Chain A
Amino acid sequence: MANIVIDRIRKSFGSFEALKEVSLTINDGEFVSLLGPSGCGKTTLLRIIAGLETATSGDVRIGEKSVIGLPPKDRGLAMVFQNYAVFPHMTVYENVAFGLRMQKAEDRRVKAQVEKAAGLLHIEQYLDRYPNKLSGGQRQRVAVARALAVEPKVLLMDEPLSNLDALLRLEMRTELKTVLQSAGTTTIYVTHDQTEAMGLSDRIAVMHGGVVEQVGSPVDVYNHPATRFVGGFIGNPPMNFIKVPVANGQVMAGADQLAVPREAGNEIVLGLRGEAVELAPPQQGLEMKVRVAEPMGSHLLLTGSIHDQPVRVILPASETVKSGDTIGLKLDRNRITWLSPESGKSFPAVAA
């Protein structure tokens, strides 16, 4: 069993609080992504789990056992560093073999494991080269291979594919996912790339300013963001936030009446995914003034305003809307998120 429990971890650097009470549980064999903007504390959290940094307070348990105070090598994990940390004075082969050599594995096993990991990451042809002769993306793959070669119970990866081109990244992440899944590796995967996080993860933890704002399945996080930040950070285009007046517990969206949560005041923020709409006749739908209409081939991207607030929506490519038009939109009730204008937190979903 290698589940990870992160229990109220705080970390301060001097007076700066990099992590403010982060709690997160990762089940055995689960793949969890840490997603968040630069500087939100992703690397710091990984380093605390790995034992490279001491938390100011809080506990980390791996497999039900507290690892606070345990040196990194006794935590039974492998890590891919954000800046690779591939040893420049060793060949790629020796780099990948490093962990196994430290375990005093016999040569035959080392060779087999190195070849397996190298094959997976397509670096077989560089095995006897030195890392300085490799590109950033190649070095990054060496770092991933080095971590995979030891077949760890827990794998921490800090933006492991950030330097690869789009095509290779897609291929690598699929293969990575397959391998880790079949090995049952508990994985924490830091990334900036939300499609990567959506595609790979069992669950996503969205971090912001040293806090985990939401943990949930990719679909959950996408459709029901817990905070305004999460909705704005995830998805392209980001979620639209429209402040609307509430009357009698209802919000009018064109001819439709939408029930809002009981806790709402006179105003509420309507969180709307760009694609959770369809075109409706102007009198019936919610009115949108289209400033720019961009046909993207697969869909039509409209930028404009609703209630004088900027929005972006997506319609099927077959619709014909031109820049300057005023249109009506019918909202998909089940995909609306209601948020408090004051706190920016979402209300629990209301029964439709």
Chain B
Amino acid sequence: MTNNRSWIPYLLILPSVAFLGLLFVVPLVQTIWLAMSDNGMPSLANAERMVNDINFARSVRNTFLLTIVVVPVQLCIALVMGTLVAKVGRGRETILWIWTIPLGISDLAAGLVWLSILQNTGYFNSALFGLGIIERQASWLSYQTPVALFLAIAIAEIWRGTAIVMVIIVAGLNQVPKEFREAAEIFGAGPWTRFWRITLPLIRPALQSALILRTVLAFEVFAVVYALGGRNFPVLVGEAYYWQNQNQNYGVAAAYAVLIMIISLAATLVYLKAIKVDPERLP
């Protein structure tokens, strides 16, 4: 009976497999070929050209730096927000709705919002000037102020991307019955202990998903950087874009794309290993 029908599940996932194959695997193979070939012959020329470009090392460093700073901060903020919102009774939906507004704004628009705040004639400078802290317009986003530029981009990214982490964490928290926390409380665990020893381990699957998603997205950061810093702050996707558009060199652009993919896959693998989710230990 069950044996006869073992093909049914495969049949059911066939459409999505076909869809993925057509729109994902084919372009992927093409991109890899584009990156690893030269005039129709296999070659590492594109990769070589990419690595020897003056912006390559900077873009790798910047992308990693941004990810390392942004993702943990986002995770912490999201955990705090998620825990807070879980405690709220009435008005919970409204708070969630407001907090997720940045999620609905496209990344380029988000970048432009922060540009209007931080550019020379922006709101931030006006406010500082109004308060008498600065005497004339300060510049935050130029290549002469790399730290300020980095912070500006990081803050914009944190503002833009924390909501998605929070949504996943709230969903995870909802999966944990309140009795676990209550039992811990009865047996003498304070708020910190409850958080570290009970809540956090029980939302591991949500943490894992949120981290994978957020990290992969962080490696793909582009529009916010483009809006705020242009090429003053080169990042990997930005370089791929410039090679493709400005330099019309699809091969090197493809090499960047492949590199980003490899980094993302590696990060995912690291998370899967580091935050093991053992179904046996879930509620």
Least CB separation from A129: chain B residue: B280
Chain B contacts for A248, CB-based, 8 A: none
Majority secondary structure, A binding face: mixed
Interchain CA distance A99-B186 in the complex, whole Å: 8
> Is A102 in contact with B193, judged by CB distance below 8 angstroms?
yes
Chain A contacts for B179, CB-based, 8 A: 81, 83, 85
> Is B282 in contact with A87, judged by CB distance below 8 angstroms?
no
Q: Which residue in B187, B201, B279, B281 is a CB contact (below 8 Å) of A102?
A: B187
Q: Which residue in B190, B202, B280 is a CB contact (below 8 Å) of A133?
A: B280
**Residues of B in contact, count (CB < 8 Å):** 22
Mark A44-57 against chain B: 1 for CB-CB distance below 8 A, else 0.
00000010100000
Evaluate whether A50 and B186 lie within 8 angstroms (CB atoms) in the complex, with A81-B179, A83-B177 already known.
yes
Which chain A residues numbered 33 to 88 have a C-beta less than 8 Å away from chain B? Answer: 50, 52, 71-73, 77-79, 81, 83, 85, 87-88
Chain A contacts for B180, CB-based, 8 A: 85, 87
A161 to chain B, nearest CB (A): 18
> Is B280 in contact with A132, judged by CB distance below 8 angstroms?
yes
Interchain CA distance A81-B177 in the complex, whole Å: 12
B54 to chain A, nearest CB (A): 49
Chain A contacts for B189, CB-based, 8 A: 73, 102
**Residues of A in contact, count (CB < 8 Å):** 23
Interchain CA distance A73-B193 in the complex, whole Å: 13
The answer, yes or no, to whether B38 is at the interface (CB within 8 Å) is no
Interface centre among B182, B188, B189, B190 (most CB of A within 10 A): B188
The answer, yes or no, to whether A89 is at the interface (CB within 8 Å) is yes
B40 to chain A, nearest CB (A): 55
> Is B177 in contact with A85, judged by CB distance below 8 angstroms?
yes
Majority secondary structure, B binding face: helix
B204 to chain A, nearest CB (A): 8
Interchain CA distance A150-B189 in the complex, whole Å: 13
> Is A72 in contact with B182, judged by CB distance below 8 angstroms?
yes
Evaluate whether A102 and B282 lie within 8 angstroms (CB atoms) in the complex, with A52-B182, A85-B180, A89-B202 already known.
no
Interchain CA distance A99-B198 in the complex, whole Å: 13
Interchain CA distance A77-B187 in the complex, whole Å: 8
The answer, yes or no, to whether A130 is at the interface (CB within 8 Å) is yes
> Is A79 in contact with B183, judged by CB distance below 8 angstroms?
yes
Least CB separation from B179: chain A residue: A85
The answer, yes or no, to whether B283 is at the interface (CB within 8 Å) is yes
Interchain CA distance A146-B182 in the complex, whole Å: 14
The answer, yes or no, to whether B96 is at the interface (CB within 8 Å) is no
A163 to chain B, nearest CB (A): 16
A281 to chain B, nearest CB (A): 60
The answer, yes or no, to whether B259 is at the interface (CB within 8 Å) is no
Q: Which residue in A78, A89, A146 is a CB contact (below 8 Å) of B201?
A: A89
> Is A88 in contact with B187, judged by CB distance below 8 angstroms?
no
The answer, yes or no, to whether A98 is at the interface (CB within 8 Å) is yes
Chain B contacts for A133, CB-based, 8 A: 280
The answer, yes or no, to whether A103 is at the interface (CB within 8 Å) is yes
Evaluate whether A71 and B187 lie within 8 angstroms (CB atoms) in the complex, with A83-B179, A85-B177 already known.
no
Least CB separation from B181: chain A residue: A85
B183 to chain A, nearest CB (A): 4
Evaluate whether A85 and B281 lie within 8 angstroms (CB atoms) in the complex, with A73-B188, A102-B189 already known.
no
Mark A246-259 against chain B: 1 for CB-CB distance below 8 A, else 0.
00000000000000
Interchain CA distance A185-B189 in the complex, whole Å: 22
Evaluate whether A73 and B187 lie within 8 angstroms (CB atoms) in the complex, with A81-B182, A85-B177, A87-B180 already known.
yes
The answer, yes or no, to whether B184 is at the interface (CB within 8 Å) is yes
Q: Which residue in B186, B202, B204 is a CB contact (below 8 Å) of A73?
A: B186
The answer, yes or no, to whether B185 is at the interface (CB within 8 Å) is yes
> Is B186 in contact with A72, judged by CB distance below 8 angstroms?
yes
Evaluate whether A130 and B188 lie within 8 angstroms (CB atoms) in the complex, with A81-B182, A81-B183, A87-B198 already known.
no
Evaluate whether A98 and B187 lie within 8 angstroms (CB atoms) in the complex, with A88-B202, A132-B281, A132-B282 already known.
yes
Which chain B residues numbered 195 to 231 have a C-beta less than 8 Å away from chain A? Answer: 198, 201-202, 204
Residue numbers of B with Cβ under 8 A of A are 177, 179-180, 182-190, 193, 198, 201-202, 204, 279-283
Name 26 A/B residue pairs within 8 A (Cβ), A-sorted: A52-B182, A52-B186, A72-B182, A72-B186, A73-B187, A77-B186, A78-B186, A79-B186, A81-B183, A83-B179, A85-B180, A85-B182, A87-B198, A88-B283, A89-B201, A89-B202, A89-B282, A102-B189, A103-B188, A130-B281, A132-B279, A132-B281, A132-B282, A133-B280, A146-B187, A150-B187
